[in-house]
Amino acid sequence: MTTATPTHFTAVPLDKAYRLLNHGPTVLVSSAHMGVSNVMAAAWSMPLDFDPPKLTVVIDKSTLTRELVEGSGQFALNIPSRALAAQTLAVGTDSARVVPDKLKKHGITTFAARQIVAPLVLGCVGWLECRVVPEPHNQQTYDLFIGEVAAAWADARVFHEGRWQFDQAPDDLRTLHYVAGGQFYVIGESLLVG
């Protein structure tokens, strides 16, 4: 973990935090507990409430991330862009249980969050620092976690005035939307209706 923060790192007002996830990007879940940290990919997350902002994410029982999230009661959702596609696939494929140095192996660099112990992933374009809203039945039965957003951040080149602005930024900053088998779609053009 570096103490640096990324360039263009800008606070997102909490009442606009849901917009980071509203268009359905694939995310990286970062977590830390008792000196151990990890990052995994997740395609299954969504906003759950506006203000205070809440979100959901599915975290399988087999993962180290699950243990760290349940231990610490915290996690972050990091929104990777096209430039991080290979690393997103890699940390979604390798398990830290099998490849303990997977972050180093795949060149994932992290930096300190402000409200939680879980680190944030450098090179992403959005970040949501979350505290778990304990729902043991959902967690046990569905692997479903609810987080309340304590802080939200974005890369100001691509998210400003409370919304994504992909069309005015380099294509490498567009979000990733996973399908299967190593295939992503990159988010495309803006369409204003009405």
CB 133 within 8 A of CB 147: yes
Instruction: For 84, list phi and psi in degrees, rounded to 5.
Output: -105, 20
44 binds its own copies (CB under 8 A): yes
Closest CA to 127 of 158, 155, 148: 155
Spell out the residues 6+ positions from residue 2 whose beta carbon is closer than 8 angstroms to its own. Answer: 109, 110, 111, 122
What is the footprint of its own copies within residues 111-130 (CB under 8 A)? none
Residue 156 to residues 58, 66, 135, 138, Cα–Cα distance (Å): 28, 31, 34, 35
Residue 48 vs 99, nearer CB to its own copies: 48
The single residue among 149, 164, 169, 173 that binds its own copies, judged by CB under 8 A, is 164
Nearer to its own copies, 98 or 191 (CB): 191
By CB under 8 A, the residues from 7 to 26 that bind its own copies are 19, 22-26
Contacting positions for its own copies (CB under 8 A): 19, 22-26, 43-49, 54, 56, 58, 82, 85-86, 88-89, 135, 137-138, 142, 144, 146, 162-164, 166, 174, 176-194
